Amino acid sequence: MAEPVINEGPATAPAPSVSPTRVWDLPTRLVHWSFVIGVAFSWWTAETARMEWHRWGGYALLGVVLFRLYWGFVGGSTARFGNFVRGPRAIGSYLRGAWQATPGHNPLGALSVLALLGLLLLQVVLGLFAVDVDGIESGPLSLYVSFDTGRACAEWHETVFSVLQALILLHIVAVLYYLLFKRQNLIGTMVTGKRVFDAEMAPMTPASTVKLLVGVVLAAALTYAVSQAFQF
């Protein structure tokens, strides 16, 4: 009987005076969508045995992961680990619904970020040392390990990918849950970098372009060195 209130629609929308708040800087968003493309590409090239392309996909992902780790220390405020990784108490209060939404990851989402990033790094590193069953195809760093170790890395490379797939699925389910049940479009925010909050909020603080360039050069240089097995 009291239900019709729901149909008020526009009246419950935020007041027009509340403008979108900046949540994610451009590098963080580019990193996110690069992961989507990179993982999909690597999956496809592995399934279709395009190993030369698979190595390129791995290098690209390695570069992006390294940059994201760097950005986690010097990047925009919402990208920094020190700002969004929180303890169990914060996670508990978030789960009880007692968490005040602010621009950036919530305490539970922070765990997802750490897990996904950590697994991605592990996966790429395993690939660098992996050797195929015939000893014909291999990651660039496999020359530092034996055939048997390289084979073990290849098997772990497969196992970790399954775990990564499961976590990505969980991530997608969580994002859809927010979209459908909590009426919060996280995907749009990851595209535009902005979100409309119920009230005016202090936006994220971006990092300087110099820091961005330093990070890109560092990540690219290290990735290149790895791809050459540190032999020049």
Nearer to other proteins, 155 or 200 (CB): 155
Using CB under 8 A as the binding criterion, the count of chain residues that bind other proteins stands at 14
Nearer to other proteins, 58 or 109 (CB): 58
Q: Find the binding residues for other proteins in span 118-147 (CB under 8 A).
A: 131-136, 138, 142-143, 147
Q: To the nearest whole angstrom, how small is the minimum distance from the Cβ of residue 231 to other proteins? A: 5
The full 3-state SS of 166-223, as one line of letters, equals: HHHHHHHHHHHHHHHCCCCCHHHHHHHCEECCCCCCCCCCCCCHHHHHHHHHHHHHHH
Site string for other proteins, 144-183 (x = CB under 8 A): ---xx-xx--------------------------------
Please give the angle made by the CA atoms of 165, 167 and 170, to the nearest 5 degrees.
110
Return the sign of the alpha-carbon dihedral for residues 49, 163, 227, 43.
Answer: positive
The Cα–Cα gap between 81 and 85 comes to 5
Nearer to other proteins, 110 or 145 (CB): 145
Residue 131 DSSP symbol: B
Nearer to other proteins, 44 or 147 (CB): 147
Interface contacts to other proteins, rule CB under 8 A: 131-136, 138, 142-143, 147-148, 150-151, 231
